[in-house]
Amino acid sequence: SAVISQKPSRDICQRGTSLTIQCQVDSQVTMMFWYRQQPGQSLTLIATANQGSEATYESGFVIDKFPISRPNLTFSTLTVSNMSPEDSSIYLCSVGKGIGGELFFGEGSRLTVL
């Protein structure tokens, strides 16, 4: 299993500012993912965080808007840059242990942009 801590759990931000979300895992994992979820809706994959190299972004998400760092096998950050109200959402960190294994999720970071 894996225990994931995300910070902050929630935040209210002003338009045009940036926020960095941290994800800490209690064990080394090969795969880390960042998802976005509107309340009551499905999860959309933003990117795969790769240790020691640039993240792999999904269609519709770009590095300038969502820069990701992954300095080691237990930690990653996602920054939401130049925020607008459309960025208001829940951002979830997820990790996978091995091919075909289940995903483990953090509790999420609920972001509200005014």
Partner 1 sequence: AQTVTQSQPEMSVQEAETVTLSCTYDTSESDYYLFWYKQPPSRQMILVIRQEAYKQQNATENRFSVNFQKAAKSFSLKISDSQLGDAAMYFCAYRSTNAGKSTFGDGTTLTVKP
| Binding residues vs partner 1 (CB under 8 A) | 31, 33, 40-43, 45, 48, 90, 92, 94, 96, 99-100, 102-103, 105-108
Nearer to partner 1, 28 or 84 (CB): 28
CA pair distance 92, 71, nearest whole angstrom: 18
Sheet holding 19-25, edge to edge: 4-7, 19-25, 75-80, 68-72
Q: How far is the CB of 31 from partner 1 (least distance, A)?
A: 5
Asked if residue 93 lies in contact with residue 32, where contact means CB atoms within 8 angstroms, the answer is yes
Q: How far is the CB of 82 from partner 1 (least distance, A)?
A: 26
Q: How far is the CB of 37 from partner 1 (least distance, A)?
A: 9
Nearer to partner 1, 73 or 103 (CB): 103
Q: How far is the CB of 105 from partner 1 (least distance, A)?
A: 4
Asked if residue 107 lies in contact with residue 23, where contact means CB atoms within 8 angstroms, the answer is no
Asked if residue 20 lies in contact with residue 77, where contact means CB atoms within 8 angstroms, the answer is yes
